[in-house]
Amino acid sequence: MGIVGSGPAGVYAADLLTKDETLAACGTPVSIDVLDRLPTPYGLVRYGVAPDHPRIKQIQQALHKVLDKPEVRFLGNVDYGRDLKLEDLRRHYDAVVFATGSDRDRPLDIPGIDLPGSHGAADFVAWYDSHPDADPARHVEGGAAAVIGAGNVAVDVARILAKDAADLLGTDITDDVHRSLADKRVTDVHVFARRGIAQAKFTPMELRELDKQPGVEVLVDPEDFDLCAASMAAIEESNQVKTNVKILQNWAIRDPRGEPRRLHLHFLHRPAAVLGEDRVSGLRTERMELTGDGGVRGTGEYVDHDVQAVYRAVGYLGSPVADLPFDAERGVVPNDGGRVLDLDDKPVPGVYATGWIKRGPVGLIGHTKGDALETVTNLVADRAAFAPAAEPEPEAFLRLLEERGVAYTTWEGWQRLEAHEESLGLARGRKRIKVRSRAEMTRIARAGAPA
């Protein structure tokens, strides 16, 4: 089996395949290659989780156990679509599962959104997580910033913008990111949600963290605090909504503490335009009102906010996958329960999808387990119809990579790189410090490998 993508979705699929009793009963050992375009595994956990979230990063320990299994082989720095085509994978694997995730920002179609100083959250997250494809020379503009969105990504971006850079020195943050954050002049961060407090999508844990930062206070305008019948029903039906509303209520009625940095949460504000001539100088929002059924409508009242940067966190989109159909609107590969569908809505034999490229960027990391279970269950059910791979030997695939000059990395190479990052951290009293450069990561991981 071949799996493209080594984030949680791909690794969970590999784990389920190694445990499947039906496959085990066939008497044929299951052999799985997990491929990734980066030299490192873990995908979103390494490059999508904020550096000050070590608890979530602990998911790596569970992913490590799967990739450490003898039936599983990790091959990094292998770029599907550039180094390989679908026909290459089908020649070497009985079935292929795509778990390439969602790596792009969903667009926001309002005037001025493309002005300098207007950024997508995905790009900003990649930068502060030291993704090798992100520009290391980036800097944070202005004294006030706007974040558009009401989910956990919006909260993460706002927290990093407001946080004192010194509070990140215990994380795996790289020196270039720390220098830029230390140089920022941001004193006010404004988060804008189009709907009401009961419709916000962030989790209570993420929300509470906003108020636990030294030197930062969270402010909620009581005028934005509105509830309708649908909101009250949502509070009764969901403990998460109930907890979020209680937290926000407490913040709305307390006295300001006078901290040097402020994080403002605005509800019932629809972004209408990014203001500015040559670069961002403000954000215009329209005041909204609840319609009673969980929806909102515009009031025609507009408010201009003085900000010098705008970050949109309105959702992610997957990127097209070479040789596969693609739903550009949803940013997913068309599929039925993980079975990839062709242009006639017929299953493509032996080709599957899981994770966000299958269903869109919905839910937390843990939700990908159930998603992978559905895909793997259907894959196993279809196994009798698979056309067997022409060259299934593990060595044959490595020969292909070597013939094409692919400087692939291995699981052993990742462990070498991991030990190197930990040694960098140890020298400075930290658990680890990431290596940012793709070339440097590859060099360290491939030390001793054939040229």
**Residues forming a β-bridge with 219:** 264
Tokens at 20, concatenated: 């499947």
Percent of the chain beyond pLDDT 90?
Answer: 81
Average pLDDT over residues 388-411: 95
Structure-block tokens of residue 239: 């403990």
Q: Residue 224 burial (CB < 10 Å; 0-12/13-18/19+)?
A: buried
pLDDT score for 226:
84
User: What is the pLDDT at residue 368?
Assistant: 84
Q: Is the pLDDT of residue 451 over 60?
A: no
Q: Please give the pLDDT value at position 27.
A: 65
Per-residue pLDDT band for 14 (boundaries 50, 70, 90) equals very high
Segment 186-203 mean pLDDT? 94
- What is the pLDDT at residue 448? 64
Work out the average pLDDT over 231-252.
93
C-alpha Rg value of the chain to the nearest Å:
23
Both structure tokens of 97: 């599962």
Distance CA 356, CA 104 (A): 12
Residue 124 has pLDDT above 90, yes or no: yes
pLDDT of residue 450: 55
Q: Beta strands 316-317 and 104-105: pairing type?
A: antiparallel
Q: What is the pLDDT of residues 139-154, one digit of tens each?
A: 999 999 999 999 999 9
- List the structure tokens of 129: 């997580």
Domain boundaries, the chain: 2-103+318-406, 106-312
Q: What is the pLDDT of residue 367?
A: 74
Q: Check: pTM over 0.75? Answer yes or no.
A: yes
Rounded Cα gap, residues 144 and 303, in angstroms = 16
Beta bridge partners of 72: 32
The H or E element that residue 273 is part of is strand 269-275
Q: Which two tokens stand for residue 256?
A: 């300001």
- Sign of the CA dihedral running 274, 140, 154, 253: negative
- Convert the pLDDT of each residue in 303-361 to its tens digit: 999 999 999 999 999 999 999 999 999 999 999 999 999 999 999 999 999 999 999 98
Q: How far apart (Å, rounded) are the C-alpha atoms in residues 241 and 93?
A: 45
Confidence check: pLDDT of 178 > 80: yes
Model confidence over 203-232: pLDDT tens digits?
A: 898 899 999 999 999 999 988 888 888 999
Fold topology of 106-312: FAD/NAD(P)-binding domain (3.50.50)
**Model pLDDT, residue 25:** 67
pLDDT over threshold 60, residue 169: yes
- Distance between CA 397 and CA 399 in Å, rounded? 5
Q: Is 269 exposed, middle or buried (0-12, 13-18, 19+ CB in 10 A)?
A: buried
pLDDT > 80? residue 449: no
Residue in 197, 283, 289, 301 with CA at minimum distance from that of residue 247: 197
Fold designation for 2-103+318-406:
Rossmann fold (3.40.50)
- In whole numbers, what is the pLDDT of the chain averaged over residues? 93
Binned at pLDDT 50, 70 and 90, residue 294 comes out as: confident
Look at 27 and 400; give whichever has higher pLDDT: 400
Cα angle value 145/146/152 (rounded, 5°): 115
Question: Which pLDDT does position 28 carry in this prediction?
Answer: 67
Is the pLDDT confidence value at 409 over 90?
A: yes
- Range of lowest pLDDT (27-36, 89-98, 262-271): 27-36
